[in-house]
Amino acid sequence: MDKSIDLYLGKMFVWGTVLATSLIAVGVLGSQNLITMSGIAVFIILPILRVIVLLFDFFRSKDKLMTIVALSVLMIITLSMIVGFYFKNS
């Protein structure tokens, strides 16, 4: 595995957190729910993006087993969202 991936992901999390927190702060202070929700969406997307980045890294280093594992995690997350979409609570 590429050693620099730690640093790359670290930067992604730091800047992602700054972006999401700023959006939520602006949304809360200005009572703009749409901006708040976009900040929340950034927070939800960040860890999923991390799985995608690692998936590409495993794929690039021809690590078949881990590529399958990462793909499975992404599929389960997608399935969870589909379940959320079709099984709306009352």
Residues forming contacts to another protein in the complex (CB under 8 A) are 1, 5-7, 9-11, 13-14, 16-17, 20-21, 24-25, 27-29, 31, 33-34, 36-37, 39-41, 43-48, 50-51, 54, 65-66, 69-70, 72-73, 76-77, 79-81, 83-85, 87-90
Q: How far is the CB of 62 from another protein (least distance, A)?
A: 13
CA triple 6-8-12, angle to 5 deg: 115
Q: How far is the CB of 23 from another protein (least distance, A)?
A: 10
**Closest CB to another protein among residues 60, 84:** 84
Q: What is the C-alpha to C-alpha distance for residues 68 and 86, in angstroms, rounded to an integer? A: 27
| Cβ 73 vs Cβ 44: under 8 Å | no
- The 8-class DSSP code of residue 74 comes to H
Phi, psi of 31 (to 5 degrees): 50, 40
Q: How far is the CB of 44 from another protein (least distance, A)?
A: 5
